[in-house]
Amino acid sequence: KITARPKGISWWHILGAGLLAGIGFTMSMFISNLAFTSEHKDSMEVAKIAILLGSLISGIIGALYLFALDKRATLKK
């Protein structure tokens, strides 16, 4: 065990934070710039759209998940 989980934070909260972590797309953009040369500009555009769409979906799912988790906790009280 490395550390103790803070009081009030469940594994479900950690899962929600993990879903939100999918938003980070800077490294994906960097790798796609390295992978596709100027000859494959179409592939580069597709990669950028896919990365941005994936980040958007991850952000929406993570936010909805944490909102639902908070709503469920409020209803239990």
Give pLDDT tens digits for 1-48: 788 888 888 888 888 888 888 777 777 777 887 887 778 888 888 888
63's CB contacts (< 8 A; 6+ apart) are: 20
Burial grade of 26 (CB within 10 A; 0-12, 13-18, 19 or more)? exposed
pLDDT attached to residue 47: 84
How far is it, in rounded angstroms, from Cα 24 to Cα 27?
A: 8
| pTM of the predicted model as reported, rounded to 2 decimal places | 0.68
Query: How many CA atoms lie less than 13 Å away from 17 in the CB half-sphere?
Result: 6
Does 77 score more than 70 pLDDT? no
**Residue 40 pLDDT:** 81
